[in-house]
Structure 1
Amino acid sequence: MRGIELFAGGGGLLLGSALAGFSHDAAIEWEHNSCETLRLNQSKDYPLVRGMDILESDVRTVGWSKYGTDLDLLAGGPPCQPFSLGGLARAALDPRDMFPAMTHALSVLRPRAFIVENVKGLLRSSFADYYSYILLRLQHPLLTAREDETWKEHLTRLSKEHTNGVHDELSYAIVPTLVDAANYGVAQHRHRVIIVGFRTDIQADWSFPKPTHSAAALHAAQMDGTYWEQHRVPQKDRHIITAKNGDASLKPWRTLRDALHGLPDPRSKESSQWLNHNFQPGAKIYPGHTGSVLDEPSKAIKAGVHGVPGGENMIRYPNGEVRYYSTREAARIQGFPDRYEFSGAWGETMRQIGNAVPVQLAQIVASSVAIALEEATVRNTMDNSIEDMTSANGRMDYAKS
């Protein structure tokens, strides 16, 4: 199945959808260092980025005609700064708001399905009207704003046309979901809004994948000792998770210790044998800046370096020592394969990783979309066959009479 990736960044959503079976015609990203990462891996013939166009370009300037209109998946995470808790939160007034560019691409490419990812901040009450606007624009990408029409005026018109049952030639059935990546086997707490849409003529039978991991299961594994035995952690270094939510019959949340298993300390000589695994000095603890403990999922990797508010990009050891994640460690936490290399200095690579979609979460969502599309194709083929047989039998009965 064919896909195109917008706002590709360092490649998290791209790799996840490739693992799910989508072959990408193109990846579009305006930021140079992120494109260098994609090019670097393509030059090494990394299979998941093989053969695709890498366009270092503003999405708004791309000519889509060369890619045709038989695309299966359009995916992307529009820049989150307009909605992020760490940004200025200006939404539609922020020039980095790329949701209009996303809907324009939808209107031209007309993919069978799309996946959009963004930050939890998008759901804040102050963004309620604009979030409604985003959802309606994704549902009806051809109903564009008129000249001199503000987004609020456009929202009013979209709402009326949507509730009046307007059926344009292109529309999407959408399902927005708030998820914590830790519930899907990612070794970090990462709360994100994921919006999945299917073109309404596809008639997909789809729902968001159910969680596979839980805090309750991790707590149980720590309490009965199996977790500590697996990692050979002495009694004095054990930190038992306090959270007990979720279904205990699921797999345990993956912890920071799980994610980093097998990686040498970046301060050791062995670290030179690993890609992007260099020690970064200067980590400190101060109020509110405490890092992540080894035996829980990491705090969400942030697209920042020394000044990240909660010390999200630091490990905190049982003895109280802290240090920054190496690029490879952060990549492991986000689910990037060890063979996948990042271009740039530590701060730049952490920005790419911190802006990425966890690869495993992307794979789970994209796989469910791929299955729904395949099943829809099979149903459509069977329906057409039955219709053809019915028509043929009708002609035979007519001929006999």
Structure 2
Amino acid sequence: MKAVELYAGAGGLAMGVSLAGFKPLAVVEWDRWACDTIRENQRRGFPLVADWPLHEGDVRHFDWSAVPQDIDLLAGGPPCQPFSMGGKHQAHDDTRDMFPATVDIVRRLRPKAFIVENVKGLTRSTFANYYQYILLQLEFPEVPRRKSEEWFDHLLRLQAERTSGRSKGRRLTYNVVPTLVNAADYGVPQKRERVFIVGFRSDLGVEWSFPRATHSYDALLHTQWVTGEYWERHAVSRKNRPTMPQVLESRVRKLALSLLPLETLPWRTVRDAVAGLPSPQSRAASAYADHRFQPGARVYPGHTGSPLDLPAKTLKAGDHGVPGGENMLVNPDGTVRYFSVRESARVQTFPDGFVFHGSWTETMRQLGNAVPVALGHAVARSVAERLIRVQLEKASSQRVSERGAA
């Protein structure tokens, strides 16, 4: 299956897409440092990225005529700063809003499916109309914005197109499914809420829903406070285990009394993520790429760090370097330190063999902007399974028709 990756960054979503069986025809990213990261891993022969056709530059200036139409998948996370909680919230007034360019590329390439990822802030009430506008543009890519037309007027025209049903069977349209997900529910050791907008070309007749969560907080609480398996697995003696917070007592009691089996795996924690890594302050840390101690961590209001025995808080990129608390680890004794780059990469589920290019601040920016590899893989695998099923059904139907004709 063939794919195109837009706004690839350091390659988190693109690696998840590759793991799902898609072969990229183009991987496009404008940031030089992120491209250097991918190029460095290609130079080192890292298998997931070794044959990526990487193009450094703006997706709006790429020669899309070199990519055939009807590819299987278009994937990417348009720059999130226009909608980020930590950004300036300018949406359509922000020059970094790349949703219009994304729609243009969908219209050109006519992919069978697309996966678009963005921040939770996109769904805020402040952006309600613009969020609807994005979804409708992706649903009707062949109803483009007219020259000098205001975006809101275009939105009204798209609404009329949808209610009229005029495009059905005549134009390129997509069945679009937006879903807000928490990465921790899919095995990522990080509470990272993101919007995934997945679309299938309408003529394929695909029925699809977002993959079910595989991990849960209740399952984590059960292994920590009911069975104790979590502490045993990490060789934490009883005297060194923390006291269960009083606020959890009622919830844990219900879990202990329930006779129903838990249907999910436990959330993965920071302790799970960094297991096996020595302290970045130790001599043994030099055996691991990108695992160096970064001084200067401190707690201040709103920035308190990530507890060791929960999924990490959302790693962030920040406009001016790395914000203090979100990228800090809180030790059991209450002391704090910054995550090393390697620890952050594990929190984002990048493989240990994948290295990062640039200074600590620049590298953490790449990680803060990345899609967790495991989450990208879960979504892309679900899309791949559906596309393969469509191909098999089409082939089976064709064989039946040929036998009937004979």
Matching residue's letter, 1:153: D
Counterpart residue number, 1:70: 70
CA deviation map 1:363-398 (0-9, x unaligned): 010000000000001111122233333444xxxxxx
Counterpart residue number, 2:258: none
- Report deviation, 1:237: 4.0
Query: Pick from 177, 202, 207: which aligns with 1:175?
Result: 177
The answer as to whether partners of 1:205 and 1:376 remain within 8 angstroms in 2 is no
TM-score norm. by structure 1 comes to 0.94
Q: Please give the alpha-carbon distance, in whole angstroms, between the structure 1 residues aligned to 2:307 and 2:50.
A: 37
SS where residue 166 of structure 2 aligns? Answer: coil
Counterpart residue number, 2:104: 104
Q: Please give the alpha-carbon distance, in whole angstroms, between the structure 1 residues aligned to 2:42 and 2:25.
A: 13
Query: Pick from 305, 317, 320: which aligns with 2:334?
Result: 320
| CA RMSD between the two structures | 1.8
Alignment: residue pair count: 392
CA deviation map 1:52-71 (0-9, x unaligned): 22111111111111111131
> Which is further off, 272-281 or 163-172?
163-172
Counterpart residue number, 1:395: none
Counterpart residue number, 1:385: 399
Instruction: Name structure 1 gaps, 5 residues minimum.
Output: 393-401
Q: Please give the alpha-carbon distance, in whole angstroms, between the structure 1 residues aligned to 2:382 and 2:301.
A: 42
Q: Please give the alpha-carbon distance, in whole angstroms, between the structure 1 residues aligned to 2:42 and 2:324.
A: 35
Q: Please give the alpha-carbon distance, in whole angstroms, between the structure 2 residues aligned to 1:282 and 1:237.
A: 28
Q: Please give the alpha-carbon distance, in whole angstroms, between the structure 1 residues aligned to 2:26 and 2:49.
A: 9
CA deviation map 1:280-308 (0-9, x unaligned): 00001122221011000000111139975
TM-score norm. by structure 2 comes to 0.93
- Report deviation, 1:205: 2.7
The answer as to whether partners of 1:214 and 1:248 remain within 8 angstroms in 2 is no
Matched, 1:227 2:241: no
Q: Please give the alpha-carbon distance, in whole angstroms, between the structure 2 residues aligned to 1:75 and 1:312.
A: 27
Matched, 1:94 2:94: yes
Counterpart residue number, 1:289: 303
Counterpart residue number, 1:212: 214
Relative distance call for 1:28 and 1:307 in structure 2 (3 A) is: closer
Counterpart residue number, 1:135: 135
CA deviation map 1:331-374 (0-9, x unaligned): 00000000001000100010000000010010010000000000
Counterpart residue number, 2:372: 358
**Match runs of 1:2-401 below 5 Å:** 2-167=2-167, 168-223=170-225, 224-234=227-237, 235-238=239-242, 240=244, 248-304=262-318, 311-392=325-406
> Which is further off, 317-326 or 281-290?
281-290
Q: Please give the alpha-carbon distance, in whole angstroms, between the structure 1 residues aligned to 2:387 and 2:152.
A: 34
Q: Please give the alpha-carbon distance, in whole angstroms, between the structure 1 residues aligned to 2:332 and 2:275.
A: 16
Counterpart residue number, 1:398: none
Provide the identity percentage.
Answer: 52
CA deviation map 1:117-160 (0-9, x unaligned): 00000000110100010001111111111111111011111110
